[in-house]
A and B are shown apart, each in its own frame.
Chain A
Amino acid sequence: MTLSILIWLPLVIAVVAALIPRPLVGRTAAIGSVITLGIAISFLVRFKLRHPGLQFKTDQVWISSLGIHYKLGLDGLNVALVVLTCVLFTASLAWAAFREWDRPRLFYFHFGLAQSAVLGAFCAQDLALFVAFFDLMLIPFYFVVGMWGSGDRVRATTKLVVYTLVGSFFMLAGAIATGALASSRHGAPITFVLSSLQHMPLSHASQEWIFLCFAVAFLVKMPLVPFHGWLADGYKSMPIPAVAVFSGVVSKVAAYGFLRIVLPLFPYAAVHFQMLMLIVALVSILWATAVAFTTPDARLVVAYSSVAQLSFITLGIFSLRQVGAQGALLQMVNHALVTAPLFFIVAALAMRAGGSELLRDMGGIAFRAPVLATLFLIVTLATLAMPGSANFIGEFNILLGVFESKIVIAIIAFTGVVGAAYYALRLFIGSMHNRVGPAVVSRDLRLADAAPLVAFVLLILALAFYPQFGLRRSQPTVRTTLSATQAVSSRITLASR
């Protein structure tokens, strides 16, 4: 069982689903995603601990004259994320399968393509392959938002795509330059395989501009502050299953890209721009928290909380400390496990509040919905990183890492943790308690809606009890990932002495 099967299976299922009668399409896609999830779990089970290198490698030459390989592999950085992707897609497709969609074949086709592209981006071990999957990932979302979105969907989707593709094109230029400059600098044939590029460091000047190209692409995708223009419109008009996976895993590809590509390949630039990235992340935390305080829209509260979380993850990565990066990885998993159910809950709330997603139209929904209220409360407490949840451990590790490297940033970032408690509780209380909204009809969850939420809550609880599960797998790989930047920073410290 190779990784290729895992990556391409969703697309194959989507094509099959596009050929069968319309009423069965949704269920086929959902069952197919369960099979994919099963395969992903089998990889997790077979994953060897304390093994820093790549496992389940697939390596074939894709374009020989450019030295591009079709190279896939799992290690501590991506194994959890791959499983997480399958979990989120399965949940989203299960959620979608119980609803009617206009032109369902096309809808599920785009979902399958999206899942294949995201899995491909996580597994790719070749720079060009990563870039290809990273760009490809966006196309299905372009169609999903534009065709099944709400509000001014065409405008929203155009904004989303133009923002992200502009970033991606910068990354494309940077990626090609990495391969071409590395080969000319070291007199070696051109290659884009990550493990080979790591041994062919670029000059400092090239590292700097290429780092900025990659950073723009990743920051747009997350999105962090100066690049967030598409966020409100995009998240607002995405259909719920799409926004759950987009915020849950697609944005994580960007954070993962920093760990997989930027830190090992451009260690000098990463150290050079560390402060810049930390400040961007910090501003982003404060800004997103402030907006989440005030926005009247329940969905946007979740969206901005997700920005704040991703800023924390970036903070952890650019602490350039092992503990920070570990925390960032753990937090990627945690965040996906809370943000996706939150979006489903927002959809459930809107259904009970006469279709409106505004907080002022909600209120008092908990009255006859104890199951919904309980699940919502658990997710909310996880979101605000209640001690005892895995999110607490993630944020703690991140802040510890930043504390070790830049203490002032860490102290300011603590306010973000406090802010999270406020906006998460504001969302919960505003919708579930308070004065009953004008059009609110309180009723409990249907089984179909409750099932994915229960699954997420169980996963959140499991990780809360046993966070080591994720940490142990990533430890050896994170150490090697950070070795290059640590070498650079220690050299700089020695030089300054």
Chain B
Amino acid sequence: MTLLLAAAHIKGPHIDWAAFSPLIAPLAGGLVILLVGLLRSPVVRRQVVPALTIVTLLAMIGLAIWRFHHPASIISGALRIDDLALEVDMLFAAAGIAAVLLSWRAFAPREAGQGEYHALLLFSIFGMAAFVSAQNLISLFLGIELLSIPLYILCASETRREGSLESGLKYLIIGSVGSATLLYGLALVYGSTGSTDFSAIGVAASAGKLAGGALGDPMFLTGLGLITVGFAFKASIAPFHQWTPDVYEGAPTPITAFMATATKAAALVVFLRFFDVAALGAQDTWAPLLAAIAAITMIVGNVGALGQTSLKRMLGYSGVAQAGYMLTGVVVGTQLGIQATVLYLLAYLAMNLAPFAVIVAVERERPELRDDITSLSGLGARNPWLAWPMTIGMLGLAGIPGTVGFIAKFQLINALVNGDYTWLAIVLVIGSMISLGYYLRVVATIWMRPALARQPVMAGGSQEADAQDAAPGVGAKAPTLQFEVAFVALASAATVIVFGIFPSPLFNFAAHAAHAITGLF
């Protein structure tokens, strides 16, 4: 009783609910869906729950559009809801919608429980939204934990498959190490600057309040280094990327798609926010370090992807390389750099969702091949509706003109040359050359290799298998295209092409995000 009274007397900070609303949407929606998922009717569980999730995410996008151009620092400056945050919120919601559509008929939500699966997805999105809006060290850490913990569970949500459990456990262990490193770094930065607020840290770092200046304070520098490591784990930046291919391969494919796009975007936007706001004054210290890391990441990711036969592993390594590209936009620390990174993130979302959707489709068509690259053999002749999105996605990631990937790379290189990092631009270009090796291999498999003959299941070996083989729709003819999967693939591919040809709206959109971070030129 006294405790309640005491709680009532503590004066909470003023909360601007309108500005907070884009973050509340997934949180509230997640709670409702958790309850709805308890209903016993299979129709409700299998259809209503995903539909409600999509409605929630659409509401999040709507609220984000409503709050656009109304920057606000809320909850005593813990979160800053500006155009940059809102834009990536929309990106998270879009990735979430894609993940829901891709898992509509998947095993994972059925095994994990529809309500729980979708609620966890929404909580993770809430965590991401908080993470990218964070304006101080505490909310930053809360955000990263809120986004990670649901993902650990989601990775392991195919509870009967060993690979999925392995993936969840690996992610949990590595993620915890990353979080711990980050937390230690945050504590050291707080200790050296005496503040948890980003802008106050920025002032302390640039105004020479540190003992011996920003360059001479070992505590601050150690903190900065540990924070970089923590972020690098989340964004899968070399040399902290080793978990990525394993986790991507084991996790259910819709979750992999979500992690590859949304988590990466969240981590990179936080890179932008932290380094280009809080640590901007100490740019001389971290910019060469980040530049080196970015260069290593581009090379390691691209070379690693070359030898992969699993498509998800390959996309995992390709994601590592792409994170390296995007990190270069952080390094230059200019408006142009931020604009380029945000632009690349938006492009990256569309370019990755198309291949992942196709992987989901071919995995269902040929479960015995899983996500092996041979499952794509002859797809061009067999199913052009899937072959084209995959092709466009790959060409986009490779940066071929006519796709948004070309535009995004163009802008990145421009930002790099403009910020006197021409050598990094050259590394980026060399990385792109290496990447042709594996992106084009996928395209060649789709169009230029004959379809694999279906492995004859040992005749008479098992009646069940024989029956399955003979069943209509499973045997010689490919099963009918699943509408929602094809929709994700085609919509993403169309986005890649349309914005590749008419990129101006995308530039304006990214420019708004860049203007949200002030103090740069």
Contacts and interface: CB of A to CB of B under 8 A. Distances in A.
A173 B433 contact: no
A63 B407 contact: yes
Interface stretch (A33-41, A158-166, A325-333, A484-492): A158-166
What band does the interface of chain A fall in when counting residues whose beta carbon is under 8 Å from B?
35 or more
Given A169-B432, A180-B417, A161 B440 contact: yes
A172 B437 contact: no
A169 B437 contact: no
A136 interface: yes
B444 A146 contact: yes
A204 to B, nearest CB: 16
A180 B410 contact: no
B507 A132 contact: no
Contacts of A143: 447
Contacts of B339: 65
B414 A190 contact: yes
Contacts of B251: none
A181 B421 CA distance: 12
A106 B429 CA distance: 31
Interface string A145-187: 0110000011001100110011001101100110111001000
A312 interface: no
A139 interface: yes
Contacts of B447: 143, 146-147
A176 B413 contact: yes
B462 interface: no
B425 A173 contact: yes
B400 A136 contact: yes
Given A63-B407, A147-B447, A177 B507 contact: no
Contacts of A172: 409-410, 413, 429
Interface string A79-123: 000000000000000000000000100100000000000000000
Q: Which of B443, B444, B511 has the most CB of A within 10 A?
A: B444
A190 B504 CA distance: 15
Nearest to A181: B417
What band does the interface of chain B fall in when counting residues whose beta carbon is under 8 Å from A?
35 or more
Interface in B479-521: 503-504, 507-508, 511
B122 to A, nearest CB: 35
Contacts of B189: none
Interface in B177-196: none
A157 B436 CA distance: 12
Contacts of B448: 146-147, 153-154, 157
B77 interface: no
Given A63-B503, A146-B447, A173 B429 contact: yes
A166 B444 contact: no
Nearest to A129: B401
A147 to B, nearest CB: 6
Provide the main secondary structure of the chain B interface. Answer: helix
A64 interface: yes
A66 interface: yes
A162 B401 contact: no
Q: Which of A62, A169, A170, A184 has the most CB of B within 10 A?
A: A169
B76 interface: no
B410 A184 contact: no
A133 B410 CA distance: 14
Interface in A277-291: none
A156 to B, nearest CB: 11
A131 interface: yes
A105 B170 CA distance: 48
B406 interface: yes
Given A66-B411, A176-B414, A190-B414, A135 B401 contact: yes
Nearest to B500: A132
A457 interface: no
Contacts of B426: 173
Nearest to A190: B414
Contacts of A161: 436, 440
Nearest to B420: A184
Interface in B426-450: 426, 429-430, 432-433, 436-437, 440-441, 443-444, 447-449
B383 interface: no
Contacts of A146: 444, 447-448
Contacts of B400: 135-136, 139
A128 interface: yes
A7 B314 CA distance: 37
B422 interface: yes
A136 B429 CA distance: 17
B429 A169 contact: yes
Nearest to B447: A147
Contact of A103 (B381, B417, B433): B381
A166 B402 CA distance: 18
A180 B414 contact: yes
B395 interface: yes
Contacts of A136: 400-402
A176 B440 contact: no
B418 interface: yes
A47 to B, nearest CB: 28
Contact of B511 (A65, A103, A147, A177): A65
A162 B400 CA distance: 12
Contact of B433 (A106, A154, A165, A190): A165
Contact of A133 (B401, B444, B503): B401
A273 to B, nearest CB: 19
A74 to B, nearest CB: 22
B429 A170 contact: yes
Contacts of B407: 63
A64 B504 contact: yes
Nearest to A120: B401
B362 to A, nearest CB: 20
Contacts of B402: 132, 136, 139
Contact of B507 (A65, A139, A162, A184): A65
B213 to A, nearest CB: 29
Contacts of A65: 339, 504, 507-508, 511
Nearest to A113: B402
Contacts of B422: 177
A66 B401 CA distance: 16
Nearest to B425: A173
Interface in A169-227: 169-170, 172-173, 176-177, 179-181, 184, 190
Interface in B381-407: 381, 395, 398-402, 406-407
Nearest to A67: B414
B440 A63 contact: no
Contacts of B508: 65
Nearest to B406: A132
Q: Which of B411, B414, B441, B449 has the most CB of A within 10 A?
A: B414
Contacts of B409: 172
B425 to A, nearest CB: 6
A158 B413 CA distance: 26
A176 B410 contact: yes
Contact of A158 (B418, B425, B444, B504): B444
A345 B438 CA distance: 37
Interface string A10-28: 0000000000000000000
Nearest to A136: B401
Contacts of B443: 142
Nearest to B448: A146
* 9 closest A-B pairs by CB: A132-B401, A180-B417, A146-B448, A176-B413, A173-B429, A136-B401, A65-B507, A135-B401, A169-B429
12 contacts: A63-B407, A132-B406, A147-B447, A157-B448, A161-B436, A162-B436, A170-B429, A173-B413, A173-B426, A176-B425, A184-B418, A190-B414
Given A63-B407, A142-B440, A184-B418, 11 more contacts: A66-B507, A136-B402, A139-B400, A146-B447, A147-B447, A172-B413, A173-B425, A176-B413, A176-B417, A180-B414, A180-B417
